[in-house]
Structure 1
């Protein structure tokens, strides 16, 4: 969603229980759902544990619980729901929720999220593990995303990530679409 600024800090998050739950996952969990890596070249140096995903049949988007739901729902969803309640109008839909891992020396090349659901949904990142050699860039400006904070990014601006560190970078990422954002404008509200 175009939020008029490149990045918005949504405030502090207690990440200790989230980190514990994510680090407890076995290596195979990171490769159970590889749709993003196979469908989008920019994500080829990542792996994910996907909890919620959508079919992107706009405007009638359907969401479904994916393989990561049973593994991480009890640990992650209270935090995701709290961030939504504190920052966005009630009654919307979580389109996507996952933990994304950017491998050491990995890159997510500059891109704009183009599908219609990305125009309608707020893209939120919760850093769990990062390092000083990891840089997130939005609209040509570098940002240091700190563990213990949540951020909304403007995914309608070019954004990229580089992890020059020796360890994986782990972020919870979710997209929240406020109620009514996928309704087609027939002009009756004017």
Structure 2
């Protein structure tokens, strides 16, 4: 039994998600904030689907902002949005931030811990959309190789890193969810 990883689903069809991405010209070039601003993520490309609600920042650090919203750029990603909404309902959870991330062959996400109030109360998930050899991910002393079509929970409060040791792009949908039972604690209201 692993402490930091749990495979929740094994046969999610990645084709509709990948078709959606390839159907949008320059999908990976529309937003470069992740690789430009987050040093440990500098080798990864991202399509933001849900982001923090900027109007809610106030005097808080970005990592402490709980409020999130669909990005304007997420509109054409109907399959991805539907999946996120359905999975959140299935898990009795509130969607947080979400993105589709490409880690090109030979590239890595450097060791880090996702810190802040936002991450402290949420669960992190990876849906593997493309990975020929399985996606290597490490959290603390545990390593996994996530396969295409698998949906994983993992503990991003631990030191973690990723490396694409394959010869093709590795594509994941990475997202966070807040269990509805914690809505009162986080937002001051029930879900």
Determine if the TM-score, normalized by the shorter chain, exceeds 0.5.
yes
TM-score between the two structures when normalised by the length of structure 1: 0.82
* Structure 2: segments with no counterpart, 5+ residues: none
Compare the two structures and name the one with the higher helix fraction: 2
Does 2:53 match 1:52? no
Does the aligned pair in 1 maintain the 2:14–2:130 contact within 8 Å? Answer: no
CA deviation profile, 1:89-127 (whole Å, cap 9, x unmatched)? 2xx432211110111210111111012111111111100
Query: Equivalent residue of 2:75, what SS?
Result: helix
Total equivalences in the alignment: 178
C-alpha change, 1:17 and 1:33, in structure 2 (3 Å) is: same
TM-score between the two structures when normalised by the length of structure 2: 0.82
What are the equivalent positions in structure 2 for 1:56-135 lying under 5 Å apart?
Answer: 57=57, 61-72=66-77, 74-86=78-90, 88-89=91-92, 92-132=93-133, 134-135=135-136
* Structure 1: segments with no counterpart, 5+ residues: none
C-alpha change, 1:52 and 1:133, in structure 2 (3 Å) is: closer
Separation in structure 2 between the aligned mates of residue 67 and residue 183 of structure 1, nearest angstrom: 29
What are the equivalent positions in structure 2 for 1:167-186 lying under 5 Å apart?
Answer: 167-179=168-180, 180-181=182-183, 183=185
Corresponding residue number in structure 1 for 2:15:
16
Does the aligned pair in 2 maintain the 1:120–1:182 contact within 8 Å? Answer: no
CA-based RMSD of the aligned residues comes to: 2.5
Query: Equivalent residue of 2:19, what SS?
Result: helix
Query: Equivalent residue of 1:68, what SS?
Result: helix
Corresponding residue number in structure 2 for 1:41:
39
